[in-house]
C-alpha cells in the first residue's frame, strides 16, 4: 500500500518547469555603425531643412500663405515678367512688342546669358525695363549646397550689375523652387524672391501662341504676376515664339479689363 500511495502522490505533483533564462542585455551598436547612422540621420535632416522652402513651388501654398512671394500686388495691375534671357535670337523681338505697346516689364536674367550678350542686357535696362536675378546657371537650387548657391547668385548679380549699370533687387529661382541656402543668400545680397501667379507653359510640347494665351487667361486677374520666357536656352528650341505670339493677346486682354500692365516695381498694392 505504501508503494501505491507513493506512486499516486508522485502522479499528483505538478511537473517541474525549467527555469527561465534571463534575457541578455541589448548589444550596443558598434562604434562605426553608430557613427554611420548618426551621419545618415544628420544628412537627412539637413536635406529636409535645405529643401523645405521648395514647398512654395506649389502655387496653392504660396498664394494662400505667401502672397508677396507669389507676386500678388495691386488689384488693378498685372506684372509682366520674363525668364532665362537675354537671348540675342529672341529678346529683341519681345522688346519690340513691348515698345510698340509702351509697356515695361521685368526681366529675370541668367548671369551666363548676360556674359554672352552684355550689350543686349544693357539695352533691356536702357529701354526702362526692370532686371532681376535668375541665377548664373539654370540649376535646381535644393540640390546645391550653401557655398555653391552663394557663389552662383553673387556671380549672377555682379554680371547683371556690370552689364546694365543697375544692381538688381529681385530674385526668381530656376524652376521656381527655393531652398534655405537660396533664401539666406538672397537676404545677404538684398534680393527679394518673387515667383508668379500665372505662367504660359510655352515650353510644353505642342505649345502655340493660342495655347499660351489660353493658359494665361485662365489664371489672369488683377494683382497677378505673369511668367513668360524670352529664351529657349532651357526649353525646346523655338518655344519662345509661342510666348512672343501670345504677348500681344495678353496685353489686349488686360487693356479690355482695365488693368494696368508693367514691371514688378509698379506692382505694389
Active-site residue set: 83, 229
Region label for 74, one of left (φ > 0), alpha (ψ between -120 and 50) or beta (otherwise): beta
DSSP annotation of 176 reads: G
Alpha-carbon distance values, 173 to 42, 132, 208 (Å) = 26, 10, 25
Residue with cell 539637413: 46
> CB count, 10 Å around CB of 46?
12
For residue 228, what are the β-bridge partners? 82
Q: Give the closest residue to 252 by CA, choosing from 217, 223, 203, 218.
A: 217
d(CA 111, CA 118): 10
Q: CB of 160 within 8 A of CB of 198? A: no
Amino acid at each position: 500500500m505504501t508503494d501505491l500511495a507513493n506512486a499516486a502522490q508522485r502522479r499528483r505533483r505538478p511537473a517541474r518547469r525549467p527555469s527561465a533564462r534571463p534575457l541578455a542585455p541589448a548589444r550596443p551598436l558598434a562604434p562605426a555603425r553608430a557613427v554611420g547612422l548618426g551621419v545618415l540621420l544628420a544628412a537627412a535632416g539637413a536635406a529636409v531643412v535645405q529643401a523645405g522652402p521648395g514647398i512654395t513651388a506649389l502655387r496653392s501654398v504660396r498664394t494662400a500663405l505667401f502672397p508677396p512671394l507669389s507676386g500678388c500686388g495691386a488689384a488693378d495691375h498685372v506684372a509682366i515678367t520674363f525668364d532665362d534671357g537675354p537671348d540675342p535670337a529672341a529678346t529683341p523681338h519681345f522688346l519690340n512688342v513691348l515698345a510698340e505697346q509702351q509697356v515695361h516689364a521685368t526681366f529675370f536674367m541668367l548671369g551666363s546669358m548676360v556674359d554672352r550678350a552684355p550689350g543686349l542686357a544693357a539695352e533691356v535696362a536702357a529701354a526702362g525695363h526692370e532686371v532681376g536675378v535668375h541665377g548664373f546657371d539654370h540649376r535646381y537650387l535644393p540640390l546645391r549646397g550653401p557655398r555653391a548657391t552663394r557663389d552662383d547668385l553673387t556671380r549672377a548679380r555682379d554680371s547683371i550689375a556690370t552689364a546694365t549699370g543697375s544692381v538688381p533687387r529681385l530674385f526668381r529661382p530656376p524652376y521656381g523652387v527655393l531652398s534655405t541656402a537660396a533664401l539666406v543668400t538672397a537676404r545677404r545680397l538684398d534680393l527679394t524672391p518673387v515667383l508668379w501667379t500665372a505662367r504660359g507653359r510655352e515650353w510644353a510640347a505642342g505649345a502655340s501662341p493660342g495655347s499660351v494665351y489660353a493658359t494665361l487667361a485662365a489664371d489672369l486677374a488683377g494683382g497677378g504676376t505673369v511668367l513668360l520666357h524670352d529664351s529657349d536656352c532651357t526649353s525646346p528650341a523655338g518655344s519662345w515664339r509661342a510666348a512672343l505670339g501670345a504677348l500681344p493677346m495678353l496685353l489686349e486682354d488686360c487693356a479690355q479689363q482695365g488693368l494696368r500692365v508693367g514691371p514688378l516695381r509698379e506692382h505694389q498694392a
